[in-house]
A and B are shown apart, each in its own frame.
Chain A
């Protein structure tokens, strides 16, 4: 039972329930031709994906949980992190325009309002040799949910004190995504870098981390082109992979 709509030029497949919209998109891409820009939206995900092996918590019908399929991307593996940055920027614009609250992007790509997480991104790309075949951009944006098990989560409803229409919100969010994905296509990498760093959580400040099992106080200098966090502690510069370091906040 699915329902097909067109929102802001995107084909949107609406599913009442699915294991994960990213999984659904993967299967769809294997079994048929999928127009670029197609959105798979579900009111309820039974296995919403967070990072590998982790899950994304969302109450049924209250938030935006969807996957955007892109199959005309022209990026190589060296510039793929710009896609991650651009999606983060688009989500930040959506949240900031709506709430007017300071909104930041926590490396690599969580969206924070008042140090609490409002949105997350999980991108799955597919490659054959050096050519990207398609990209599935999974997005979870907290909208109307007002109670979370995780005290570090927040939604637009908690900030605005009102509920939003999910489809109108989706439309606005897709517009922001289109703008920034287009910049990836045009290789406007400098603009993406500048915007990402303008809103990078903790930039130029000293933060507490857990690195290789030890706690570390380090100043955030930025995020490299290939997505690593560049830090400085005791005059010593160090780059970290996502798996090598954790924020403590």
Chain B
């Protein structure tokens, strides 16, 4: 490891709010400890570190992926669910865009869409792609449920945190 890398690592550790980091490679081991007065109530600072366990957990969930969305044959029938009364909408969960980019409903122009209104989806199912600067981002649903509404048109720009789908988790 180069000196610059070690410096960067120290900066990274101190910023992240963790107390101790240990890295071991083939012929090299480094332990960085901070005396940790940083552990104040600063949840925002710690969020980054907490990603690790969260991710690990989600990855273990066996995603019983129904091989790509069967091109919903009954689509027209469910295309227009009666608009629910306003207060019911509150029970729906929004799948939001984690980034700025272009919203695509299918993996490529000649492929069927990932999800259609009325489809049952499971947590971890891919619901769309957001392309951002040549990076193709599959967006997985964080909830299981039924897709009630698709809030964005295919191939249109989306903003950070913009709701994309309404999902009825019940």
Q: Taking beta carbons and an 8 Å cutoff, which residues of A are in contact with B? A: 26, 30-31, 33, 51-53, 71, 74, 76-78, 80-81, 83-84, 108-109, 122-134, 182-183, 186-188, 191, 226-228, 241-243
Asked whether, in the complex, the Cβ of B137 is within 8 Å of the Cβ of A227, the reply is no
Q: Which residue of B lies closest to A34 (CB)?
A: B59
Kindly state whether residue B51 has any CB partner on chain A within 8 Å: yes
Complex alpha-carbon distance, A100 and B138, angstroms: 38
Q: Digitize B90-104: 1 where CB-to-A-CB distance is under 8 Å, 0 elsewhere.
A: 000000101110101
Asked whether, in the complex, the Cβ of B8 is within 8 Å of the Cβ of A187, the reply is yes
Q: Which residue of A lies closest to B54 (CB)?
A: A131
Complex alpha-carbon distance, A187 and B9, angstroms: 8
What residues of chain B lie closer than 8 Å to A77, measured between beta carbons? Answer: 98-99, 132, 137, 160
Asked whether, in the complex, the Cβ of B135 is within 8 Å of the Cβ of A53, the reply is no
A53 interface neighbour in B63, B109, B139, Cβ under 8 Å:
B109
B9 interface neighbour in A30, A78, A132, A186, Cβ under 8 Å:
A186
Q: Taking beta carbons and an 8 Å cutoff, which residues of B are in contact with A? A: 4-5, 8-9, 12, 48, 51-52, 54-55, 58-59, 63, 65, 96, 98-100, 102, 104, 108-110, 124, 126, 131-142, 160
B78 CB → nearest A CB, Å? 25
Asked whether, in the complex, the Cβ of B12 is within 8 Å of the Cβ of A243, the reply is no
Q: Which residue of A lies closest to B48 (CB)?
A: A74
Asked whether, in the complex, the Cβ of B65 is within 8 Å of the Cβ of A125, the reply is no
Complex alpha-carbon distance, A198 and B100, angstroms: 27
Asked whether, in the complex, the Cβ of B12 is within 8 Å of the Cβ of A227, the reply is no
Asked whether, in the complex, the Cβ of B99 is within 8 Å of the Cβ of A124, the reply is no
Asked whether, in the complex, the Cβ of B109 is within 8 Å of the Cβ of A123, the reply is no
A53 CB → nearest B CB, Å? 5
B133 interface neighbour in A81, A129, A133, Cβ under 8 Å:
A81
